[in-house]
Structure 1
Amino acid sequence: MSFTSKPRFLPLLPTTHQGGRSAITCEYRCGSACSHEAPNTSDNPYFGDIVGEVVERRKVLKAGVVLAVAGAATGAAAPAAVAAPPTSSRHAGGWGGPGINLDFRPVAPNVLDAVVVPPGHEQEVLIRWGDPVLPGAPEFDFANQTAAAQAMQFGFNNDFCGLVPMPGHRDRWLMVSNHEYSSEGFMFHGWDSANPTREQFEIGIAAHGLSVVVLDRDRRGRLEVRIDRHFNRRITMTTPFTVRGPAAGSRYLRTSADPAGRTVLGTMNNCAGGVTPWGTILSGEENVNQYFANADSVTDPQARTRLARYGFPAAATGRKWERFDRRFDLAQEPNEANRFGWIVEIDPLKPHENPVKHTALGRFKHEGANVIVAKDGRVVAYLGDDERFEYLYKFVSDGRYKRGDGQLAREHNKRLLDSGTLYVARFRGDSPAAEIDGSGRLPSDGEFDGSGEWIPLAHNDRSFVEGFTAEEVYVFTRQAADAVGATKMDRPEDVQPSPRTGRMYAPLTNNTDRGNPGKEGPTEVNPRVRNRHGHVLELEEARRDNTATRFSWQLLLVCGDPNSPDTYFGGYDKSQVSPISCPDNLAFDSRGNLWVSTDGNALGSNDGLFAVPVEGRERGHVKQFLTVPIGAETCGPVITDDFVLVSVQHPGEVDGASADNPVSHWPDGGATQPRPSVVAVYRTRR
């Protein structure tokens, strides 16, 4: 094991919230969404249960055939300047080999106040909350924070992490990190939630958003953050964003400060994301509802219904930002809420260019977005709405990807997400309904699987949903998906297409409401009632064409304790796998293996990062690669052949803890306050 400081063994702390997440994390991160009724009250049926429905059995996922979606003739390859991070060794397929690979000894579950990595590996912190990002930023001083300093420093609670290679440099990248939310009780001594100060409000505003930093690799292969005057950047809640796509200028996006509805200040609650083939970053605005107060003061009944569908609070918010800025008070600015909940795009190579909010990708609680180039050159983005009983989506562009690293090609590609078709998923199971009893027991065919279809919602200014205009589909996407009978899922999160096969993978983190009175019961694609541990979905579209509207699917993992009969690991011997709970973020390595990070481990140990092959004899062989400190979540994994990056979010955030009573002192040890950080892991023994 490798530690940044002397490890501390800490007691397991019980929780009654989703998975193993603490109540205090629920409060700060999502406004305690799991303590409220899920906002999806639609009665759309699960199509696998409709009597007389003829379900065509498809078993193409079992074939284990690896086919690259991209090819030279289709224009699917990424340009060299914006490809995956360059590494010294790329061995396609296989378990072992030099560098980071799957021949490590699994890390045992634990509750240490440390990042724990396998023997033969070491880890180090690259950047912490409060570390300088911009030239002239002061050193971090926990007891004397200012908004001006935070706007120049690494923000709080870093989630997604992505690397964009610097053109002309083999060992230099732009590292982009989301800053999902602020946890004021862990940021300030003597935090009074009833009476926040203006300075605390402004620090919170500055702690949100994203950080862009230059990352260098030295001759030893170690990474270091550089304070670069040109490329380093902080994006906060005061950064102007340009609204693009079919809903730009919509009447639902206009406010007193922006009567044109085309420029929004800031981005918030940025969770997962992705690196596009053209070298930009997509970031998802997720639990934005918790920042806006007084939904009950909105007088228009239709507007109130729409706000309720997104879970906006009836009265005051926990952070009380509405006291300091009218745009967070729905009684004064009812449309401001509609300006958040989008996929945003940042070009780290253009530090002076406004980021973009993409309306063509719909508005909901975006976990993130990930793009693949289809066989015909169109790009396809996969998206998840991270709440109980919400949906999976995809977007297919009208335009086609242009190969090459020239400026003209790149600028063309940066417009591909402005025009296309938005879809939502409907799933069918292929087993008799009686065999899906909510226990997690496999049906008689030995797996949870079936087929499905992508239902079109809108194409630019054309709506496919009866009773909805196109702009209503884009701004109120949840209601449009309700109307077409989309399949309710168990918190779909970081939806990732495999760059080797084109198959799409989605972690369904958990849903302890499934099967409760008045709630939808088990379905083959969500087969357990009171689902505490989640599962991982594998989906392949017809003809292995990512633009197709029909697909087959199966569950790769049904997570939890391998000794429990309600778990499944791709058919692999369960006595040989690591326990895994609450899958959250996904990434692929160069060999095509899937890496899974967790959020809210309900098995009583710290969250971690896991590797699992999706092909061949080792399919389903889950191995734990690392664990993060007590109270922390494992986020934003970046997997290369030479190093792994993970974002360690909200360390020490457990019930009863605070800045005045810290239970974690990671990463700096001693009596220091815990600080969210990005960690790099290297292999030291080959």
Structure 2
Amino acid sequence: MNTPRRPLLPMLDHVRGKRSAVTCALKCDNACLGEVCNTSSNGYFRDVVSNELSRRSALGLGLASALTLAFTGGQPAGRAEASSSSAPAAKLPQPTIPKSKLDFTPIRPVDKLVDELTVPKGYVWRPIIRWGDGLFHDSPDFNLESQTAAAQARQFGYNNDYTDILELPGSAGKRAVLVTNHEYTNEGIMFSAAQLASDAAGTRAVARAAHGLSVVELERQNKNQAWRYVKGAPLNRRYLIDTLYEFTGPAAGSALLTNPGDPKAQAGRTVRGTLGNCSGGTTPWGTVLSGEENFNGYFRAAATSKEDKRYGLNDKPTTRLWELDDARFDTRNPDYANESNRFGWIVEIDPMDPTSTPKKHTALGRFKHEGANVRVAANGRVVAYSGDDERFDYLYKFVSKGTYRAGTSKADREHNKTLLAEGNLYVARFAGNSPSSEIDGSGKLPSDGSFDGRGEWLPLVVDGKSAVPGMSVEQVLVYTRLAADAAGATKMDRCEDVEPHPESGKVYVVCTNNSNRGVGSNAPADEANPRRQNRDGHIVEITEDGGDQTATTFSWNLLLVCGDPAVNKSTYFAGYPADNVSPISCPDNVAFDSAGFMWLATDGAPSSIGFNDGLFRVTLEGPERGKVEQFLSVPRDAETCGPVVRDAERHVFVAVQHPGEDGTFETPYSYFPDYVPALASAGKPIPAGAVRAPRPAIVQVLPAQHARK
């Protein structure tokens, strides 16, 4: 049959970023091929024109002094939530880093055409749950050749990203819930060409049911064993495209979130479904946050407004064509004019209460959230960091109005679940402390030996009022990108995961890459983004002034400037010898273990350095600061997501997303995780339910002796 496998992929001859053409089309709607959404004049401090200085100074927001910093190398002014001190950052005591119990010999990089999940010697891996595995007692067995939307709604979804495992209280470590989201689908390897041609609407319905989130209970006999999921367990749940979500915060009920046909009682206060869920975070009160990222690719819009254009919406048929089945995905229809405004939020779910209504928090702003990670400040306020995963977009911080209750009662937990509904929203601005002539885009270190400087959190919403002239609070929160443009934020190289260290409090900002940096009229290199055509990404380390998470000024440095040091001399590993590190490219997700090490998952290494993506351990303190060691490598075309590290047990978990992405249903490029052909050719037994096709999955890596118990 000569039916086309999938819609035309315009990135095939134009890929400049980190991903394959298929991933670009399906995951982010070819964002790198289209026009840059951020056409503001924001660059870095030394680029700001005098009228911006005057306007900011008149507002009394302290930015004029911060702007002066860019030219003088002095200290930025700024007010703090708990402390008004603007003194230089104190020398904080460094945590003592214990020796990790998770010993391993780093693996060698794996060629990008290898279809294996590779782990260190002495370790093995086991899938916990795969796409299509049934969650409920009445879930049908997965049938690759005969999928239905009704079946998929009762099964584990596709392309899992953020993942966490939360042990159930009182279970002595023998029971837990696994929470994950499902970012997007690849219909070209989910269905045959014949199915796509003969039942296009049916395959689209299955794909819609494969989005959302999943909660599933796990069990094991003891802490050394691998987890297995429990079909039909009481807490198991799927969040689907028709699941009802409640808006919280100042924009809830706004006309900007209301469609003409909404019931009056719910107008602008509820929405069906969640889309494009990428990374996330787990709150101190035990709920899970998920970031709605590339939602724009699901909507067809007139795209005549500056607001729609700023969010990458356009008037063309979408890749998945859901607008043919559900009118709300075509915002040219006046009945659904504001439907796309209902996506691009931080979602909060309560995995311990399957009857609860999930929330979308407007106080954290609307943009392409990679995720959100929460820390409780010394004054009890909750601070949430979030990155906007678009080239030349920004880094944000939210500080709650209310304070955290440390108690364990139901009332305390319910109170804490309201903390993300009201507070102050900020966007980051960075200043380097090196002469501009030393930041030439090559990645060469400036004369002071490091990329570093000072920065300020610029206010967008403070004390319930807009800090952006000409924009209401509702407009700031719904069109947060435009508000941040006006504030003068620093254009970054795609902030993905942003996580505060659980001990030191330092904040790690993962900038995955930006191959458009310094190209044409785009923003040039600056000290916080020091390489033009940045294909490999870097890590920013932020220290809030005085160690106060609610402060509005900070110092920063680059921990890593990624790449393969064997071929790229612009790499930097915090001063650690580059010939003693594992090559790493396109960092994406972050985790920390109990010994204080950072773990980095990557997404895009095959296109950048020719190796499969993986999971890496990074030393943050002491003489080996900057040392990168590769722990595992995922199969061909796959992305490493959602790392969870339990180093005391010597167990590691990752979500393996889009294995075999560039293949087809008829000619798979991966057989992960079942590897049916390989098992058959080796004469080994084929596990029950194994499928001759790639299946995104959550896997556990554990010592071989644990797997035998």
What TM-score do the two structures reach when normalised by structure 1? 0.90
Any conservation in 2 of the 1:428–1:451 contact (CA below 8 Å)?
A: yes
Structure-1 separation of matches of 2:20 and 2:160: 18
- Alignment partner of 2:445: what SS? coil
In the alignment, which residue of structure 1 is the partner of 2:658? 650
Structure-2 separation of matches of 1:127 and 1:353: 24
Any conservation in 1 of the 2:643–2:655 contact (CA below 8 Å)?
A: yes
- Corresponding residue to 2:94 among 50, 56, 66: 66
- Corresponding residue to 1:598 among 602, 605, 609: 602
In the alignment, which residue of structure 1 is the partner of 2:646? 640
- Alignment partner of 2:370: what SS? strand
Any conservation in 1 of the 2:248–2:359 contact (CA below 8 Å)?
A: yes
Superposed displacement of residue 45, structure 1: 3.5
Superposed displacement of residue 114, structure 1: 1.2
In the alignment, which residue of structure 1 is the partner of 2:455? 452
Structure-2 separation of matches of 1:109 and 1:429: 36
Superposed displacement of residue 18, structure 1: 4.3
Any conservation in 2 of the 1:150–1:203 contact (CA below 8 Å)?
A: yes
Query: Which deviates more from structure 2 when the two are superposed, residues 107-116 or residues 210-219?
Result: 107-116
In the alignment, which residue of structure 2 is the partner of 1:33? 31
In the alignment, which residue of structure 2 is the partner of 1:154? 156
Any conservation in 2 of the 1:114–1:629 contact (CA below 8 Å)?
A: yes
Structure-2 separation of matches of 1:229 and 1:639: 24
In the alignment, which residue of structure 2 is the partner of 1:348? 351
Structure-2 separation of matches of 1:62 and 1:587: 26
- Alignment partner of 2:371: what SS? strand
Any conservation in 2 of the 1:398–1:421 contact (CA below 8 Å)?
A: yes
Structure-2 separation of matches of 1:673 and 1:230: 30
What's the CA shift string for 1:429-479, capped at 9, x where partnerless? 000000000000000000100000000101364100011000000000000
- CA gap of 1:317–1:678, structure 2 versus 1, over 3 A, is same
Structure-1 separation of matches of 2:511 and 2:444: 18
In the alignment, which residue of structure 1 is the partner of 2:633? 627
Any conservation in 2 of the 1:44–1:486 contact (CA below 8 Å)?
A: yes
2:132 is aligned with what amino acid?
Answer: G
What's the CA shift string for 1:651-686, capped at 9, x where partnerless? 0012xx211221111111135110000010112479
- CA gap of 1:254–1:317, structure 2 versus 1, over 3 A, is same
In the alignment, which residue of structure 1 is the partner of 2:115? 113
What's the CA shift string for 1:71-121, capped at 9, x where partnerless? xxxxxxxxxxxxxxxxxxxxx723443xx24x4333433332111000111
Structure-2 separation of matches of 1:367 and 1:432: 32
In the alignment, which residue of structure 2 is the partner of 1:661? 667
2:490 is aligned with what amino acid?
Answer: T
Superposed displacement of residue 218, structure 1: 2.1
Superposed displacement of residue 136, structure 1: 1.1
1:528 is aligned with what amino acid?
Answer: R
Superposed displacement of residue 160, structure 1: 0.7
Structure-1 separation of matches of 2:633 and 2:285: 32
1:288 is aligned with what amino acid?
Answer: F
- CA gap of 1:225–1:685, structure 2 versus 1, over 3 A, is closer
Give the 5 Å matches for 1:546-625.
546-563=549-566, 564-601=568-605, 602-625=608-631
- Corresponding residue to 1:21 among 9, 19, 22: 19
Query: Which deviates more from structure 2 when the two are superposed, residues 668-677 or residues 493-502?
Result: 668-677
What's the CA shift string for 1:591-615, capped at 9, x where partnerless? 1110000001110010000000111
Any conservation in 2 of the 1:273–1:367 contact (CA below 8 Å)?
A: yes
- CA gap of 1:37–1:14, structure 2 versus 1, over 3 A, is closer
- Alignment partner of 1:163: what SS? strand
In the alignment, which residue of structure 1 is the partner of 2:702? 682
- Alignment partner of 1:679: what SS? strand
- CA gap of 1:286–1:661, structure 2 versus 1, over 3 A, is same
Structure-2 separation of matches of 1:481 and 1:96: 41
In the alignment, which residue of structure 2 is the partner of 1:287? 294
Structure-1 separation of matches of 2:491 and 2:30: 20
Is 2:516 the partner of 1:496? no
In the alignment, which residue of structure 1 is the partner of 2:55? none
- Alignment partner of 1:408: what SS? helix
In the alignment, which residue of structure 1 is the partner of 2:256? 252
- CA gap of 1:210–1:492, structure 2 versus 1, over 3 A, is same
Instruction: Percent identity, please.
Output: 51
In the alignment, which residue of structure 1 is the partner of 2:480? 477
What's the CA shift string for 1:338-358, capped at 9, x where partnerless? 000000000001101110000
- CA gap of 1:314–1:244, structure 2 versus 1, over 3 A, is same
What's the CA shift string for 1:617-647, capped at 9, x where partnerless? 1110000000000000000001112211100
- Alignment partner of 1:155: what SS? coil
Query: Which deviates more from structure 2 when the two are superposed, residues 480-489 or residues 160-169?
Result: 160-169
Structure-1 separation of matches of 2:581 and 2:234: 46
- Alignment partner of 2:495: what SS? coil
In the alignment, which residue of structure 1 is the partner of 2:239? 235
In the alignment, which residue of structure 2 is the partner of 1:542? 545
Is 2:73 the partner of 1:55? yes
Structure-2 separation of matches of 1:598 and 1:14: 22
Any conservation in 2 of the 1:490–1:510 contact (CA below 8 Å)?
A: yes
1:426 is aligned with what amino acid?
Answer: R
What's the CA shift string for 1:168-197, capped at 9, x where partnerless? 222221110110001111111016878862
1:276 is aligned with what amino acid?
Answer: T
Give the 5 Å matches for 1:506-545.
506-545=509-548
Give the 5 Å matches for 1:213-362.
213-219=216-222, 220-259=224-263, 260-296=267-303, 304-332=305-333, 333-362=336-365
Superposed displacement of residue 60, structure 1: 8.3
Superposed displacement of residue 15, structure 1: 7.6
Any conservation in 2 of the 1:156–1:208 contact (CA below 8 Å)?
A: yes
- CA gap of 1:245–1:114, structure 2 versus 1, over 3 A, is same
Structure-1 separation of matches of 2:105 and 2:497: 25
Give the 5 Å matches for 1:428-439.
428-439=431-442
- CA gap of 1:404–1:15, structure 2 versus 1, over 3 A, is farther
Any conservation in 1 of the 2:242–2:273 contact (CA below 8 Å)?
A: yes
- Corresponding residue to 2:208 among 184, 205, 210: 205
Any conservation in 2 of the 1:423–1:455 contact (CA below 8 Å)?
A: yes
Superposed displacement of residue 227, structure 1: 1.7
1:200 is aligned with what amino acid?
Answer: T
Structure-2 separation of matches of 1:294 and 1:397: 34
- CA gap of 1:574–1:320, structure 2 versus 1, over 3 A, is same
- Alignment partner of 2:97: what SS? coil
2:184 is aligned with what amino acid?
Answer: Y
Q: Show structure 1 runs of 5+ residues with no match.
A: 1-12, 68-91
Superposed displacement of residue 53, structure 1: 2.4
What's the CA shift string for 1:331-390, capped at 9, x where partnerless? 111200000000000000110111000000000000000000101111100000001000
- Alignment partner of 1:122: what SS? strand
2:697 is aligned with what amino acid?
Answer: S
Structure-2 separation of matches of 1:341 and 1:196: 30
- CA gap of 1:426–1:483, structure 2 versus 1, over 3 A, is same
2:430 is aligned with what amino acid?
Answer: F
Structure-2 separation of matches of 1:318 and 1:507: 28
In the alignment, which residue of structure 1 is the partner of 2:680? none
- Alignment partner of 1:205: what SS? helix
Is 2:189 the partner of 1:182? no
**Root-mean-square deviation over aligned CA pairs:** 2.1
Structure-2 separation of matches of 1:242 and 1:321: 23
Any conservation in 2 of the 1:164–1:280 contact (CA below 8 Å)?
A: no
Structure-2 separation of matches of 1:593 and 1:428: 27
Structure-2 separation of matches of 1:245 and 1:175: 28
Query: Which deviates more from structure 2 when the two are superposed, residues 659-668 or residues 598-607?
Result: 659-668
Is 2:397 the partner of 1:397? no
- CA gap of 1:374–1:467, structure 2 versus 1, over 3 A, is same
1:610 is aligned with what amino acid?
Answer: F
Is 2:440 the partner of 1:442? no
